[in-house]
């Protein structure tokens, strides 16, 4: 039981690095937009504005 809780805690800490940092992944996940040009552009990702959020297609 304790090992499971430690594992979940470590996973949450690891994911928080990507979700709440200024990384490209967090920019895609939490970007508000009105047009496709408002979304960040990356070389190998097709990112478009859908329903007010930037999403990877």
Domain that holds residue 13: 2-56
Query: Cα separation of 4 and 22, whole Å?
Result: 29
Q: What is the pLDDT of residue 25?
A: 60
CA distances from 46 to 20, 23, 38, 43, 54 (A): 22, 17, 13, 8, 10
Q: Is 28 exposed, middle or buried (0-12, 13-18, 19+ CB in 10 A)?
A: middle
Domain count, the chain: 1
Over the stretch 1-46, which tens digit does the pLDDT of each residue have? Answer: 778 899 999 888 877 766 665 566 655 556 688 999 888 888 888 8
What's the pLDDT score for residue 42? Answer: 80
Q: What is the pLDDT of residue 12?
A: 84
How far apart CA 35 and CA 33 sit, in angstroms, is: 6
pLDDT at res. 11: 87
Residue 53's pLDDT is: 84
Among residues 13, 18, 43, the alpha carbon closest in space to that of 56 is found at 43
């Amino acid at each position: 039981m304790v090992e499971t809780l430690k594992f979940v805690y470590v996973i949450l800490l690891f994911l928080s690095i990507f979700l709440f940092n200024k990384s490209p992944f967090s920019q895609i996940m939490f970007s508000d937009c009105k047009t496709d040009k408002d979304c960040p552009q990356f070389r190998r990702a097709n990112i478009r504005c859908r329903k007010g959020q930037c999403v990877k297609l």
